[in-house]
Structure 1
Amino acid sequence: MTYILLTKIHIVFDCVFVFTVFTGSSAVTPVFVQKGKDVTLDVMKDGFHEDDIVFWRFNTSSVIVRFLPGKEPVVTEVYTGRVEFPQKKYSVTLKNLQESDSGVYTAQLIGNEEQIVAEHKVTVQVSPVKLTVDSVSSSSDSCNLTVTCSTQDSDITSRVTCDTTTCHQEGGESSKVTTSGASLRLYLVNSTINCNHSNQVSWTKDTKETGQTCPLMTGKNKR
C-alpha cells in the first residue's frame, strides 16, 4: 500500500515519472522486423477503465507515448512523425525501424494498480559490415596483416599471419555481441578473411583474400 501511495503522488507532480513498482508483468514477445519497415505493438489486456493511464517505453526508460484519460496521445518529441495509432486501444505502430530501434518495448498501465500490459523484444535486421586491412608487414618468409571488422556501432580487430602456403589467425576466431544485440565475427577460412554480422533477422558479410595484400600468398587463393 505504501508503494501505491508514493506512486500516485508522483503522478500528480510529474506524469512522465518512470515507475518501477509493478503488481504484475507479462511475458516478453519476440518480434523480428526488416530494416525500414513498420511494426505494430499491441497490449495484452482487455477491460481498461476510463481513468487508466498507459505509457509505452523503450528499454525501460525512454518514454515513447503517454495515453492520458480524456486526451489525445502525447508522443515524445524524439518519436514525432514515427508513431501511429491503430484501431486497437493503446496499441502503437512504429514506422521506419532502424537497427538502433532494436530493444524491449514495454506498455505500463497505471490504474487501481500498476502493471505491465505488454512487453515486446524487437530485433531489426543488421547493418552492413566492412572489412579493412589496417596494416601489412612482410619479410622473406612471412606476412602479417592487421584487419578490422566493423559495423556502425562495433568493431573487432585481429592479426593474421601467412607464410608461403598457409595463414593462421592469432587466437583463432574473434567475436562479440554488439550494442544492438547482434553477433559480430571475424574469422579465417583457409586464406580467406571473413567478417560476419548477424542476428535472427538477417546477416551481412564482407571478405578479403590474403593474396590481395600479402605478396607471399599471391596466386595461392585464386579460384
Structure 2
Amino acid sequence: MSLKHLTLVVTFFSPLIAITVSSDIIQPSAIIVQKGHSVQLPVQKHAIETTFDHLDWLKDSSNFVVSYNVKANTVKKYPPFEERGDFNAGNYSLTLKNIQEEDSGLYTARTSGESEIIIGEYNVTVGTSSRGSTTGSVSLTWIIFLFLSRVMMI
C-alpha cells in the first residue's frame, strides 16, 4: 500500500509555496469490550511504510501503555498495564488482558523518528453488562427507527 498525498498550493503575491499533507488520516475505531475480557488493538496503517525509531501506545494521549525502541528491540510497559498488556513487536499490536472499567479511553499507536505518525487509534469502552449484546440492541433500535421513518413517509 502506498501513501496517498494531497498537495496544497498557496500563493502569496509572487512566492509559490507547496505544502504536502498526508491524506491517510486515522479515524478512531470504536471497540466495546466486556469487563474481564481481552482486546487486541492492531495498527491500522502499515508501519513499514515509514522509518521510525520508537513506537508508543498511549492511553488518552498522555498516559504511556507501552514504548518500543526499534533499534534496541526493547519493550517497556507502564502501570497499570505491566501485567495486563502484551506488545507484539512483529505486527506492533497491543493486547489488553483482564480489561477493567478504568481502562476505557482513547488508545493511540504513535511512531516517532524523522516524523511523528499515528498508525492506530481506538476508542475503547468497557461494558459491565453480562446480559445480551450491545450490537443487538443497536441493530434493533435501527430497525425500529427505519420502520417508523418509513411509516411516517406514507
TM > 0.5 fold call:
yes
| Whole-angstrom CA distance in 1 between matches of 2:66 and 2:84 | 11
Counterpart-to-counterpart distance in 2, 1:29 and 1:68: 26
Aligned residue type for 1:65:
V
Partner of 2:29 in structure 1?
29
Amino acid at match of 2:109: A
Correspondence 1:71 to 2:73: yes
Please give the secondary structure, in 2, of the residue aligned with 1:37: coil
Q: Deviations over 1:161-188 (max 9, x none)?
A: xxxxxxxxxxxxxxxxxxxxxxxxxxxx
CA shift, 1:98, in A, is 1.0
How far off is 1:201 after superposition?
7.0
Q: Higher helix fraction: Structure 1 or Structure 2?
A: 2
TM-score by length of 2: 0.62
Distance 1:31 1:37 in 2: 12
Q: Is the 8 A contact 1:101 1:124 kept in 2?
A: yes
Which residue of structure 2 lines up, in the alignment, with residue 182 of structure 1?
A: none
The structure-2 alpha-carbon separation of the partners of 1:112 and 1:53, relative to structure 1 and needing over 3 Å to count, comes to same
Query: 1:91 — aligned with what?
Result: 93
Are 1:42 and 2:26 matched, yes or no?
no
Number of aligned positions between the proteins: 111
Q: What is the alpha-carbon distance in structure 1 between the residues aligned to residue 36 and residue 135 of structure 2?
A: 13
Letter in 2 for 1:73: V
Q: 1:87 deviation in Å?
A: 6.7
Q: Quickly say closer, same or farther: Cα 1:108–1:25, change in 2 above 3 A.
A: farther
Structure 2: unaligned runs, 5 residues or longer? 1-21, 138-154
What is the aligned-residue RMSD (CA, Å)?
2.8
Change (3 A) 1:68 1:202: farther
- Structure having greater relative contact order (Cα 8 Å, sep ≥ 6): 2
The 1:113/1:41 distance shift into structure 2, 3 A limit, reads same
> TM-score if structure 1 supplies the norm length?
0.44
Highest Rg: 1 or 2? 1
